[in-house]
Amino acid sequence: MKKVIRLTESELTKLIKRMVTEMEDVSSLRDADKNWKSNKGSEETFSSFDDENWFDDEDISVKLDDVDFDEEEFDDFEKYSKKYPKQSLKKFGKGPQSKSMFDAYRDKKGPMKVRRRRSED
């Protein structure tokens, strides 16, 4: 059932101004988060099975810029999870289904690739 809400012009104006302000706040938070992520340094890793869809340490899809990376490939879940335990837990969970999920992606798309930013030393 629809409800009809009556607003005066001044109430509508206040509502729109408030919405615009909140949208600007959210946008500035996103920009701050992007800047923080780009300055995290060489410890941040990105992973992909297909070289197109890259995911960060929090398993959030990212577009990689033209930064130099060191890249590793993993065909084996145990090697990957041993080297990157936090990331493997975040991406594949815990338990026997983790290995089978990794294996299914690997069989369909190829080995897991992990990139880390090259240090500027």
Q: What is the pLDDT of residues 36-59, one digit of tens each?
A: 555 444 467 888 888 788 888 877
Domain boundaries, the chain: 43-117
* Cβ atoms within 10 Å, residue 48: 19
**Given this model, what pLDDT does residue 72 score?**
92
What is residue 117's DSSP assignment?
E
17/76 Cα distance (integer angstroms): 54
What are the backbone dihedrals phi and psi of residue 64, each rounded to the nearest 5 degrees, phi first? -85, 135
pTM: 0.57
* pLDDT at residue 16, rounded to an integer: 87
List of the chain residues with pLDDT < 50: 39-42
Q: What is the pLDDT of residue 106?
A: 92
Write down the pLDDT at residue 38.
Answer: 52
**CA–CA dist 100, 77 (Å, integer):** 9
